[in-house]
Structure 1
Amino acid sequence: MIQSIIFQGHRGCRGLLPENTIPAFLEALKYPIDYLELDVCLSKDLDVVVSHEPYINSLFSSYPTGKAVRKSEEKNLNLFQLSYEQIRSFDVGQRGNKLFPEQKPMAAHKPLLAEMLKACETQRKKYPDFGYNIEIKSEEREYGISQPQEVNVFCDKVFEILKNINPEHIIVQSFDFNILKYCKQQMDLGVYPKVQLSALVTNEGVRPSLEKLGFLPDFFSPYYKSLTEGKIEICHQKGIRVVPWTINKIEDMRRLIIMGVDGIITDYPNRIDDILS
């Protein structure tokens, strides 16, 4: 089955600009992407913050004084124990990221989801067809520690922010299947708008993942190195699209497209033209 390929800018364009920041999302829109991929956590005051980790990452973050955050300090910088005002005061871009040498250092902060959506929606006339793939960062062992004890609190906060966005432009994904189950339940009840849901996994098989989930998601999103043609075939037989994460080498993108994937998530949306040419 031949399907059009969905390209997603991972954390905006982490390979080019500081991840999960408004400049990175706006930059990603300049390339042929279909979705902006991002992550959300909650602050102490239950604001929805765009951040991959539920803490201040020492790899690229600095205190308001300019001092670099140390690895040993991360556990005391739990976003769920900090107000958004405190979170925003940390810089997450000036130091750059040693794992992404092409990334341009710049002053940047962790934005609110509402702030990020507002900035991107101002570009809708220029780029009418892009959507958002929003990962709700959640895991059971963190319940009550770096996130609320109940998943409904987290999900409700996210969907409250999404209420003014066209549901057709939204994918919600998570490694935590309790999150996806609750979202599906609320969608079926008509409480949440019907968005697309994506099951994130690392190395897990398709069948055990679907059994655990209890319903067929729109997307199955595994770590790309664990993906096989057999897994793709199982998904396609069930009408599920396969969008692996996170592929940065052009040769890997081409190989996966030949294998039959339906999408590519990449830190380098500037490399997509090489795939399409």
Structure 2
Amino acid sequence: MNKPLVIGHRGAMGHETENTLASVQKALDLGVDMIEIDVFKIRSGEIVVFHDVSLERLTDGTGKIEAYNYDDLQNLTLEGGHKIPTLQEVINLMDKKAHLNIELKGSNTADRVNFIINYYVREKGWPLDKFLISSFKWEELKRMRALNPQIRIAILTDKDPLQAIAIGEELNALAINPYYKTLTLENVDKIQKEGFKVYPYTVNEVEDIKSMKQMGVDGIITNYPERID
């Protein structure tokens, strides 16, 4: 049985506040193969790492993150005393030590994310294949593919994963990232035979991890990277 890639969800959010530099560092400390983060483009143009549309759950602020400018966002504090990082801060911290799965959570993110990735490839020596772009917003993935014919893409879906095959073929995607409870031995096999990797999310319980391994998935997105041995 091949060992699946260990993919830290929002860093290692079982241990540190999600999508923070501390969470990313914890994932690196745990030896992950890849780290998954979420990004939005805010009003002043920066790409910031955050999961929710609104700020209330994790910060002392209110309202939609996309409505903020960078300076005002820096005045907010996340649970655990952290700040909301930029995409560049996460990439700098990772320093090529693992692959990075950037989920385009907000709208109109593809252009700026592509610009940032190209900078790190051109100026900092990051291999392009260290980056993987995923999204539930398939139109955003189409935009990314139009901008960057070579970037690796993963199709996120919470529905029947076989329905993602067509868009995966259209975008020449590397992987389909399905909700783990939608997977069976049969549909994993079918997806892989169509030429895609299977990276299910978010698999935290030991029994579920074991089940995913038995199905032969290629990677596992988890809050607890240390549970995948």
Q: TM-score, normalised by structure 1?
A: 0.75
Structure 2 distance, partners of 1:205, 1:23, is 32
Q: Residue 24 of structure 1 aligns with which residue? A: 23
Structure 2 distance, partners of 1:234, 1:174, is 21
Residue 158 (1) aligns with residue 157 (2):
no
Unaligned runs of 5+ in 2: 121-125
- Could you tell me the percent identity over the aligned residues? 26
Residue 195 (1) aligns with residue 194 (2):
no
Structure 1 distance, partners of 2:93, 2:9, is 17
How do residues 1-277 of structure 1 correspond to structure 2 at under 5 angstroms?
3-56=2-55, 58-63=56-61, 74=62, 77-93=63-79, 106-121=80-95, 124=96, 128=97, 130-138=98-106, 147=107, 151=108, 154-163=109-118, 164=120, 165-188=126-149, 194-206=150-162, 208-212=163-167, 214-272=170-228, 276=229
How far 1:40 moved relative to its partner?
A: 0.3
Structure 1 distance, partners of 2:127, 2:216, is 29
Structure 1 distance, partners of 2:41, 2:227, is 32
Structure 2 distance, partners of 1:3, 1:167, is 25
C-alpha deviations, 1:26-73, integer Å up to 9, x for none? 1110113100110000111110000112321x233224xxxxxxxxxx
Q: TM-score, normalised by structure 2?
A: 0.90
How far 1:215 moved relative to its partner?
A: 3.7
Structure 1 runs, 4 residues or longer, greater than 6 Å off: none
What do you get for the CA RMSD once the two structures are aligned?
1.7
- Number of matched pairs: 222
Q: SS of the counterpart of 1:29?
A: helix
Unaligned runs of 5+ in 1: 64-73, 94-105, 139-146, 189-193
How far 1:4 moved relative to its partner?
A: 4.1
Rg larger for: 1
Structure 1 distance, partners of 2:114, 2:45, is 13
> Would the aligned equivalents of 1:41 and 1:53 in 2 still touch at CA under 8 Å?
no
